[in-house]
Structure 1
């Protein structure tokens, strides 16, 4: 082991059978004291090893019961190359939380290229799987684009894409910029997703443009245990050589 901490060595010995399927989801791991006896380490070392596996998402601790191999969560993949450019929470079930008007400020103002205080439509919907919330989609757009028409987010057909709805209002989207990252979960996101504030979540910031003008921006916030982004990129064919 050299100078490597012993808890990492114990964690390796436990991790291997979990990853190769020898220990199935729900299997109970040996207690801290048993691990200490088996591998000739202190209980503190075995505790650190188990906590490391918990932090990696491979093991869960059940108070008063012990440590168990974690059940593999169902993964939901969001296609980011769809022709309609942004399908909200598809392929999940959709629970609309409604559209309201508010004044833009801070980050939303900057993403829409407008000054603070301008009115925007804010639309929210939950993505659910078997009735359980998995992802939250929040979109903002300048109210002036569609106000007074039947093309506002509140009036349009929920099945219509952003491109279809804005295109029908004469706003042609010709560019999309997307940024993906991880950040701590905030309120009221945590209440809607039934997750603890501060947990790391996957965030996709997507902005639609007409020329150089931002016309809609949105956040897709999802559990990192359940959400993946799927990209399919077409590559130009190289011309054949003589």
Structure 2
């Protein structure tokens, strides 16, 4: 069996006391030089081990101060069930940022089955915890569905899309979600107060009226803090008697 690289071995020596609570959040780790001397490895190995723990989210590097055990991030569970799940933001409060009309472009045109250039309404909102943004939500719907009525996102602010679209004659009867992970983009980072490039969870959700997509949205949140909670109802097995 191949021998384990020394930097992995050293990372294990540090990881275990962090995970079992012997080194609580805020604890300063020994310096690279001290680790190298204590564990009889090179400074390159101690540096690589510390960087691995940073990548795992257990340790943070503070320039000029060293490496410290990170606080355990608060986790938010976002319910992704059906109409009974409300906003789907769990304990987060919803803050509406803006509603605008814009021209549809790819890949949005594909999701809404529109031609490039057709008008859509875009609504941006955030999920907040103690006034701090945790999630970003952007939704788009074809303007042709509600233009000229009092059911547009501009006229019916505060009303959910299911209620608005149903009142406009487009009742939603099907929802499709696709979940993935990608890097946070610059424009999104500005709204979330986060650094571009960090991994985020993205839920692409599309509402349908029959076979017609009537609204699509992106729910974006830190992959470290956000969990998707699904509650699925299963048909009861028939009794044989």
Do both share a fold (TM > 0.5)?
yes
1:146 is aligned to 146
1:70 is aligned to 70
From the superposition, tell whether residues 84 and 119 of structure 1 become closer, same or farther in structure 2 (CA, over 3 Å): farther
1:55 is aligned to 55
Q: Deviations over 1:102-157 (max 9, x none)?
A: 01010110000111010000000111211211111000000011111111112214
Q: How far apart are the structure 2 equivalents of 1:70 and 1:136?
A: 24
Q: Is the 8 A contact 2:79 2:88 kept in 1?
A: no
Q: Secondary structure at the match of 1:102?
A: strand
2:125 is aligned to 125
Q: How far apart are the structure 1 equivalents of 2:90 and 2:96?
A: 13
Q: How far apart are the structure 2 equivalents of 1:203 and 1:190?
A: 14
1:201 is aligned to 200
Q: CA RMSD in A?
A: 1.7
2:210 is aligned to 211
User: How much has 1:3 moved relative to structure 2?
Assistant: 2.4
Q: TM-score, normalised by structure 1?
A: 0.94
Q: Secondary structure at the match of 2:117?
A: coil
1:102 is aligned to 102
1:135 is aligned to 135
Q: Secondary structure at the match of 1:49?
A: helix
Q: Is the 8 A contact 1:204 1:221 kept in 2?
A: yes
Q: Secondary structure at the match of 2:128?
A: strand
Q: How far apart are the structure 2 equivalents of 1:85 and 1:218?
A: 16
From the superposition, tell whether residues 183 and 194 of structure 1 become closer, same or farther in structure 2 (CA, over 3 Å): same
Q: Deviations over 1:176-203 (max 9, x none)?
A: 0000101111131111111222221111
Superposition pairs of residues 154-233 of structure 1, within 5 angstroms? 154-158=154-158, 160-233=159-232
Q: Secondary structure at the match of 1:106?
A: coil
Superposition pairs of residues 79-94 of structure 1, within 5 angstroms? 79-84=79-84, 87=87, 89-94=89-94
Superposition pairs of residues 35-50 of structure 1, within 5 angstroms? 35-50=35-50
From the superposition, tell whether residues 157 and 99 of structure 1 become closer, same or farther in structure 2 (CA, over 3 Å): closer
List gaps (5 residues or longer) in structure 2. Answer: none
Q: Is the 8 A contact 1:89 1:137 kept in 2?
A: no
Tell me how many residue pairs correspond in the alignment. Answer: 241
Q: Is the 8 A contact 1:137 1:218 kept in 2?
A: yes
Q: Secondary structure at the match of 2:156?
A: coil
